[in-house]
């Protein structure tokens, strides 16, 4: 699985995030469903992560938590 890089501005600084396409698909769907920008979602994840954790890892955990929450609602 190849990583796909995307660039976003977080608090006025450009950064790039590399994730697998499957993670980007969930993030893109969340952005559309919540009518928000990719940068605002990534900034929210960045603001709530442990500073010792890489941003890409925090995003993957966010995607996993979102999937688990949705699965729990359907159960």
Q: What is the pLDDT of residues 37-65, one digit of tens each?
A: 999 999 999 999 999 999 999 999 999 99
Spatial neighbors of 32 by CB under 8 A, at least 6 apart, are: none
Structural domains of the chain, count = 1
pLDDT value at 23 more than 80: yes
Q: Give the mean pLDDT of the chain.
A: 95
Q: Which pTM does this prediction carry? A: 0.91
Residue, of 44 and 75, whose pLDDT is higher:
44
Residue 72: what pLDDT?
A: 86
Residue 70: what pLDDT?
A: 85
Closest among 47, 42, 43 to 63, alpha carbons compared:
42
pLDDT value at 73 more than 90: no
For residue 51, the enclosing domain spans 3-74
């Amino acid at each position: 699985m190849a990583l796909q890089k995307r660039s976003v501005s977080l608090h006025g600084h450009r950064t790039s995030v590399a994730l697998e396409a499957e993670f980007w698909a969930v993030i893109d769907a969340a952005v559309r469903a919540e009518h928000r920008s990719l940068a605002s979602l990534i900034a929210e994840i960045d603001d709530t992560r442990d500073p010792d954790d890489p941003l890409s890892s925090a995003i993957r955990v966010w995607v996993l938590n979102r999937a688990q929450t949705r699965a729990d609602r359907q159960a």
